[in-house]
Amino acid sequence: MRELAPLYAVGALRSEELQAFGAHLGGCENCRAQVDSLSRVAAELARSSDPQAPRAELRERVASKVAEEARKSHPSKIDLDGVRFTLSNRMVWDATGFDGIEWKVLHRDPSTGMVTSLVRMAPGTSYPRHRHVGIEENYVLSGDLTISGVKMKAGDYCRAEPNTVHHHIRTTGGCEFISIASERNQLLE
């Protein structure tokens, strides 16, 4: 356990090690003294030089690695006895190919081509006019979304039948919505 004291002092233990060492620390005077001493040294080292901002490239590499490790240790999709949970807060926003529009695919059915997704549109963005191959459903979670001249807000819902066309899809202030739609919809612009 003494080997974990330096990592504990600088906050670098994994959660299972942190719990085990924390329990040990309550009953071990030697480890408590070592952690106290190391914590004071770490604090002094932190104050001994002027803070330096890392290069943007390094910051991006570290952030990317942290996000990758978080996804590995905390999966976004969990299957339990035929029930699937999708934890969107553990997913990254993916580009859709349309400027200012991102999504998180919650479920994709390859046999029907239907996709359930969480969509985020940046303020002032729009989505091309398209014809629906199947039923399309959209439920606004936040912000504003205008479809074919109808301005929607949080809690509003739109259902489009097959072979209908959505015109003028845009947001003024940005929005997030859940969409259930066919990936086979036909873009018309």
Q: Give me the CATH number covering residue 39.
A: 1.10.10
CATH code assigned at 161: 2.60.120.10
* Rg from Cα positions in the chain: 25
Q: Is 78 helix (H, G, I), strand (E, B) or coil?
A: strand
Q: Report the pLDDT value the prediction gives residue 74, as an integer from 0 to 100.
A: 64
Q: Per the confidence metrics, is the pTM higher than 0.95?
A: no
φ, ψ at 170 (rounded to 5°): -155, 165
Q: Report the pLDDT value the prediction gives residue 127, as an integer from 0 to 100.
A: 94
Distance from chain centroid for Cα 2: 37
Residues 152 and 99 in one domain: yes
Residue 113 is classified by DSSP as: T
- Residues 106-157: tens digit of each pLDDT: 999 988 899 999 999 999 999 999 999 999 999 999 999 999 999 999 999 9
Q: Do the domain assignments include residue 78? A: no
- Residue 157, H or E segment: strand 157-160
Give yes or no for a contact between 132 and 85, defined as CB atoms under 8 angstroms apart.
no
What single string gives the DSSP state of each residue in 117-145? EEEEE-TT-EE--EE-SS-EEEEEEEEEE
Residues 25 and 101 in one domain: no
Residues 30 and 97 in one domain: no
Residues 117 and 42 in one domain: no
Residue with more model confidence, 69 or 9: 9
Count of domains for the chain: 2
Full residue range of the structural domain in which residue 170 is found: 93-187
Residues 100 and 181 in one domain: yes
Q: Do the domain assignments include residue 19? A: yes
